[in-house]
Amino acid sequence: MTPTAAVGARRRARGRRTPGRTARGANRPGPPKSKTMHTLRGIAVSPGIAIGPVRVLDPRGLRPPLRAVSAEAVPAEYDRLDRALESARSEAEAAEAEARDRIGPQYADILGAHARMIDDPTLRRDARERIGRDLVSAEHAVSEVLEGHAARLAGMADTHLAARAADVRDIQRRILAQFLGPGTAPAPGDTDGPIVVLAHDLSPSETAGLDPARVLGFATESGGLASHTAIVAAALEIPAVVGLGRALDLARLSRSAIVDGDEGLVVLDPDPPTLDRYRRASVERTARFEGLADLAHLPAETLDGRAVRLWGNIEFPAEVDPCLDRGATGIGLYRTEFLFLNVDRPPTEDEQFAAYEAVVRSAGGRPVTFRTLDLGADKLVSYRNGHPPEPNPALGLRSLRLSLRDPDLFRTQLRAILRASALGDVRVMFPLVSTISEFRQARAILRAVAGELAAEGVAVPAGLPVGVMVEVPAAAVMADQLAKEVDFFSIGTNDLIQYTLAVDRTNETVAGLYSAADPSVLRLIALVVAAAEPRGLDVTVCGAMGGEPLYAPLLLGLGIRCLSMAPHQLPEIKRVIRAIRDDRARALAAEVLGLEGAPEVAERLREALIEAFPEAAAHALPGGPHDSRG
C-alpha cells in the first residue's frame, strides 16, 4: 500500500466510526459490576470523546494461574507451546506489515523485533525446561520466563533497558492470547469490538499499534502532556487522557467508560444523564468538525485582512496529507527523531533519505521545516546504552547538544536532509539552542556537509534557510544577537514553558503549574518578535500553544504570523483567525503583557475570545492543555 493509500485507508476506518466514537456495547449487560459513577481527572493529550465498554490492560492481570500437568502430559504441553509461539510470531509479522502501511517503518520495526523475540530459541528452550522440570502448563511456563525477563529489565537503573520491559510484556500478552483464546488476553490493537482502553501505561509502540477503528479512546494512569505516547495518540486522532493516577482498580469494576480528551476526564460507569450529555456533546462535536472541513480552502486571514500562515506539525511521513487536507500551506515542524526511536540502531543515511524524500514529495513544493534530531530527555534510544544515565536528563545531553557531541550521527542526518532538500522547499532548524556559539557550530557542520555533497556531485540548493528553535529562555533573551545570523525563529513553547517555569512537561504531579498563559512566557515570545521584526525574519510558534484557540488572538497580537500545529487543530485555529481583527489582537496582547499571573491572563483571553467569537469560545475554551491554571 502506498503512503497515500494508507492514509486513505486510515481515513475510511475513521469514517466508519459512529459520530463521537461511541460503541453500543457501552450499555450491554455484563458480569455484575459496580454501578456507581466515578469521574477521574487526568491530562488531556488527544482531543475528542470516546464512549464504550472498558477493557483494562494490565500486564499483571495476564499471568495465568499455576496449572500442574502430569509427566505423561508433558509432550502435549510442548506441542501447545510450539503452536502458541508459532501463531504469536505470525500474528506479530502480520501486525508489522500493517503498521508499515499505517504509520511507517520505525514502528513496524518494533513489531518485527517482537516477532524475532518470540522466535528466539532461548525462549522456547527455557519454557520447555520449566514444563519438563516443574510439570506446569505451557502458558504458565512461558509467562514465568517472560515475566522474569520483564521484571529484571524493569529493575535496571538504565532507563533505556528498563523501557524494554514493556516490549517483553507486549510479547507476553500476544503469546498468552494464543493459549487463552481471543478476547481473553488481548493486545491493545487486537480486540473484537470497539472498546475504551484503560492501562497503567502504554508505550509509544503499543500506542502506534492501536487500531483507531476499534480503540475508541484510551486513558493511562501514568504519563505527561508531552510524552511520546501523547504525541502518537494525537497523530492517530484517538481521544486520550494520561496521568490519571490510580485508576485501574476502579476500572476493573466498571463496565463502560467515557474518555473526554478535551477536558482530560474519564467517567467510569456514567449514569444515564451523564451518558446523554456526552452523547449529545459528541454528536455536536462531530457536526462542528464536519462544518469546519469547508474552511480548508479559505484563506487564513483576519477580518481586517492580516494574513497568517497555518502549517502542520508531523512525526511520520503519512501525516503530511492530513495536514494538507486540512488546509496547511506547509510543514512547520517535522520531528525527525521519531525515525530514531524504538529501533535497534540509528537509521542509515539512505533510510533517512527515503523518509525525508516522502515528506518533501508529499508536500508538493510547499515549505517543509526539518527539525534536526531532538533525542535525549524523554526521547531515549536503546542503542545509546553506552551513555550513562543522567541525573537530570532534561537539562543534560539532549537535542542539539547531543548532535554536536556525536558528529557522525549528526552529519549522517544532515546529509540525508540536504539530499532531500533538492526535491522541494526545505528549511532546517536546530532544536534547543541555548547560545549563539551552538548555532554557529551546527551551521558550520551543515555547511561542511553541503560542501562535501557538492564535491560528490550531489545537487544541494544554495541559500537553504537555517533557523533556530527558541525553547530555552536564554535564546529568547539573546534573540537580538541570534537575529543577526539566523534566517528564522520557531518558538517551541512546550519546552520554553518547561524551562521558564521550571516545570517538567512530562510529570503529571506538577502539571497544574505548567501554563502557556504565564506572563513570563509571553514576554519571552514578545522579545523574539521584537528581535525578528526589524530584520524581516519569520517567527513561527510550533509548540502546542500555537494550536490552541485560546491563544490564537494573543499570538497574533504579539506579532506572530505563522502558527504550526497538529493536523486536527488546523480548522479550529483558522476559524478563530477569520473571526478576529488584527488591531484588536494587538491591543489585547499589550494589555495581557502587563498582567500579573497566568490566571488573570487566561481569564482575559477567555473574555476576548467570547467577545469576538461566541460559538468558537464555547467549544475552544475548556481543555487546552496549557490553561490548566486559568
Q: Of 140, 323, 542, 568, which one is the catalytic site residue?
A: 542
3-state SS of 113-171 is HHHHHHHCHHHHHHHHHHHHHHCECHHHHHHHHHHHHHHHHHCCCCHHHHHCHHHHHHH
Residues 457-476 that bind Mg ion (CB under 5 A): 471
Residue with smaller CB distance to Mg ion, 103 or 400: 400
Strand partners, 260: 49, 265
What CA–CA distance (Å, rounded) separates 148 from 144? Answer: 6
- Residue 492 interacts with ligand PEP (CB under 6 A)? yes
Distance CA 173, CA 147 (A): 11
**Which CB atom, from 179 or from 338, has the smaller least distance to ligand PEP?**
338
> Per rule CB under 6 A, is residue 567 in the interface with ligand PEP?
no
Shortest distance (Å) from residue 263 CB to ligand PEP? 22
State the greatest distance between any 2 C-alpha atoms of the chain, in Å, as a whole number.
86
In terms of Cβ atoms closer than 10 Å to its own Cβ (0-12, 13-18, 19+), residue 421 is buried
Stretch that binds ligand PEP, among 138-146, 179-187, 420-428, 487-495 (CB under 6 A): 487-495
Q: Mind giving me the DSSP string for 519-543?
A: HHHHHHHHHHHHHHGGGT-EEEE-S
Please tell me whether residue 335 binds ligand PEP under the rule CB under 6 A.
yes
Of 178 and 399, the one with the shorter C-beta distance to ligand PEP is 399
Active site residue 228: yes
Residue 542 binding result from ligand PEP, Mg ion, none, given CB thresholds of 5 to 8 Å by partner type = ligand PEP
What is the side-by-side order of every strand in the sheet holding 49-57? 38-41, 265-268, 256-260, 49-57, 195-199, 215-220, 240-242, 43-46
* Per annotation, catalytic residue among 114, 140, 149, 228: 228
Residue 567 interacts, among Mg ion, ligand PEP, none and using kind-specific CB cut-offs from 5 to 8 Å, with none
Asked if 434 touches ligand PEP (CB under 6 A), the answer is no
Does 46 bind ligand PEP (CB under 6 A)? Our answer is: no
Length of the chain: 630
CA distances to 312, 350, 415 from 451, in Å: 31, 19, 10
206, 260, 374, 518: residue in contact with ligand PEP (rule CB under 6 A): 374
Among 106, 412, 494, 506, binds ligand PEP (CB under 6 A): 494
Contact predicate 549/624, CB 8 Å: yes
Residue 170-209 contact track with ligand PEP, rule CB under 6 A, x = bound: ----------------------------------------
Taking CB under 6 A as the binding criterion, the range among 95-103, 128-136, 151-159, 488-496 that sits at the site for ligand PEP is 488-496
Cell digits for 328?
496547511
> Per CB under 5 A, does 495 bind Mg ion?
yes
Number of residues that bind Mg ion (CB under 5 A): 3
By CB under 6 A, residue 91 contacts ligand PEP: no
Residue 102 exposure: Cα atoms within 13 Å on the Cβ side? 28
Question: Which of 278, 410 has the CB closer to Mg ion?
Answer: 410
> Least CB distance from residue 612 to ligand PEP, whole Å?
26
Instruction: Say how many residues touch ligand PEP, by CB under 6 A.
Output: 11
User: How many other β-carbons are positioned within 10 Å of the β-carbon of residue 294?
Assistant: 9
Distances in whole angstroms, Cα of residue 475 to Cα of each of 372, 385, 488: 17, 30, 13
Could you tell me which stretch among 258-266, 411-419, 489-497, 532-540 binds Mg ion (CB under 5 A)? 489-497
* Residue 3: burial class (beta carbons within 10 Å; 0-12, 13-18, 19+): buried
Least distance to ligand PEP, CB of residue 376, Å = 11
Residue 137 interacts, among Mg ion, ligand PEP, none and using kind-specific CB cut-offs from 5 to 8 Å, with none
The binder of Mg ion chosen from 59, 492, 547, 557 (CB under 5 A):
492
Half-sphere exposure of 453 (CA within 13 A, CB side): 24
Q: Match 449514569 to its residue by C-alpha cell.
A: 271
Q: How far is the CB of 543 from ligand PEP (least distance, A)?
A: 3
Q: Mark the segment that binds ligand PEP (CB under 6 A) among 176-184, 264-272, 406-414, 492-500.
A: 492-500
Tell me which residue of 574, 582, 37, 596 sits closest to 293, measured CA to CA.
574
Q: In angstroms, rounded to a whole number, what is the distance separating the alpha carbons of residues 366 and 425?
A: 6
Residue 275 binding result from Mg ion, ligand PEP, none, given CB thresholds of 5 to 8 Å by partner type: none
DSSP 8-state secondary structure symbol assigned to residue 68 = B
Pick one of Mg ion, ligand PEP, none as the site partner of residue 541 (Cβ within 5 to 8 A by kind): none
Closest distance to ligand PEP from the beta carbon of 566 (Å)? 10
Based on the shown chain and the rule CB under 6 A, indicate whether residue 504 belongs to the binding site for ligand PEP.
Answer: no
Say whether residue 543 binds ligand PEP (CB under 6 A). yes
Which CB, 267 or 565, lies closer to ligand PEP? Answer: 565
Given the complex with Mg ion, which of 491 and 579 has the nearer CB atom?
A: 491
CB of 551 to ligand PEP, least distance (A): 13
Q: Which does 335 bind (CB under 5 to 8 A by kind): ligand PEP, Mg ion, none?
A: ligand PEP
E strand residue ranges, 11-95: 38-41, 43-46, 49-57
Binding status of residue 471 toward ligand PEP by CB under 6 A: yes
Does 542 contact ligand PEP by CB under 6 A? yes
| Partners of residue 466 on adjacent β-strands | 428
Alpha-helix runs per DSSP H in 270-378: 272-292, 320-325, 349-363
Number of Cβ atoms within 10 Å of the Cβ of 405 = 12
DSSP state string for 604-615:
HHHHHHHHH-HH
**Binding segment for Mg ion among 115-123, 484-492, 575-583, 622-630 (CB under 5 A)?**
484-492
CA angle (277 as vertex; 273, 283 as ends), nearest 5: 145
Site track 123-152 with ligand PEP (rule: CB under 6 A), x = hit: ------------------------------
Retrieve residue 114's grid coordinates: 517482537
Contacts with ligand PEP by CB under 6 A lie at 226, 333, 335, 374, 471, 492-495, 542-543
Active-site positions?
A: 228, 542
Contacts with Mg ion by CB under 5 A lie at 471, 492, 495
